[in-house]
Amino acid sequence: MATASVILYTNRNCPWAHRVHIALAELALPFEEKIIDYSKPRTPEYLKINPSGRVPTMIYNGHIIIESSIIAQFLADSVASTHLIPRTGEAQGALVRERIAFFVETYFSKANIYYYRAIEAKTDEDAEDLGKRYSDAIVTDVEPLLQDAEPFFNGSTKLTMAEVLTASFIIRIFTLPFTENAPLPKSMIANLEESAPNFYAWARATMEHPSVNSIYNTDACAAEMRDRRAKARALA
């Protein structure tokens, strides 16, 4: 079978684009990387490909695909078999896919909603409060869904689509609070080792995986998020 032509328009500081890098690494798919510089206006050529100007965008054998979760799922479906997600066509695989979808939806709708809110908070005190809300949501809503993580979702010994779609935020939430002039509060992860041990162990295993951390640059991401915070507070 001929190797697919894959071009990825990305920015490595973007957690949404980071999802696609994780999927490509796990699937061992070769690709051409084109960096989109946030600091410059998008070129007319790129806006023809993706009129929103956002990343990621993938061109797969000439077909344009946008939105990170759609790209990641497409890539998993494009290969004959993968450990990331079961194939459709039988009930057990469908149930695993449902569990992954529910986990990802729960994480983003209950907990990760506080990620950008904390960065863009008007004051440090507001950021601390929002970080605590993230932590509380992890304990209440996410922790119960990871009881069988060994070390990854649903007892998997390899990354699954659950990690592909959440890991880029997890690694930022566990590292950015410890950077200089941190753009995220430590309250996001304070005491999670005790209050949410399943989540904490899963998060540690996830962000230590080479497919997750190989492109991640803590300092670069921290600098970008500090700029985002400064712009938000200037408008407050």
Using CA atoms, how far residue 6 sits from 19, 65, 71, 190, in Å, is 15, 11, 11, 40
The fold for domain 6-77 equals Glutaredoxin (3.40.30)
Interval 129-175: pLDDT, tens: 999 999 999 999 999 999 999 999 999 999 999 999 999 999 999 99
What confidence score (pLDDT) does residue 110 get? 99
Q: What are phi and psi of 2, to 5 degrees?
A: -65, 145
Contact 214, 165 (CB under 8 A): no
pLDDT at 89: 84
Q: pLDDT, tens digit, for every residue of 62-112?
A: 999 999 999 999 999 999 899 999 988 889 999 999 999 999 999 999 999
Q: Identify the band that residue 46 occupies on the pLDDT scale cut at 50, 70 and 90.
A: very high
Q: CA 154, CA 56: separation in Å to the nearest integer?
A: 28
Question: How does residue 38 score in pLDDT terms, banded at 50, 70 and 90?
Answer: confident
57: three-class secondary structure by DSSP: strand
Domain 91-234 sits in CATH at 1.20.1050.10
- For 186, the token pair is 């430590």
Q: Do the bridges between strand 6-10 and strand 57-60 make them parallel or antiparallel, or are there none, so unpaired?
A: antiparallel
SS3 34: strand
Identify the H or E element spanning 19: helix 15-27
Percent of the chain with pLDDT over 90: 94
Please, what sign has the CA dihedral across residues 198, 203, 206, 208?
negative
Q: Parse the chain into domains and list their residue ranges.
A: 6-77, 91-234
* Phi, psi (degrees; rounded to nearest 5) at 35: -80, 130
pLDDT confidence tier of residue 233, bands split at 50, 70 and 90: very high
Residue entry with tokens 């490595």: 12
Q: Output the 3-class SS for 192-231.
A: HHHHCHHHHHHHHHHHCCHHHHCCCCHHHHHHHHHHHHHH
What is the phi-psi region of residue 191: left when phi exceeds 0, alpha when psi lies from -120 to 50, beta otherwise?
left
Q: Do domains 6-77 and 91-234 have the same CATH topology?
A: no
pTM of structure: 0.96
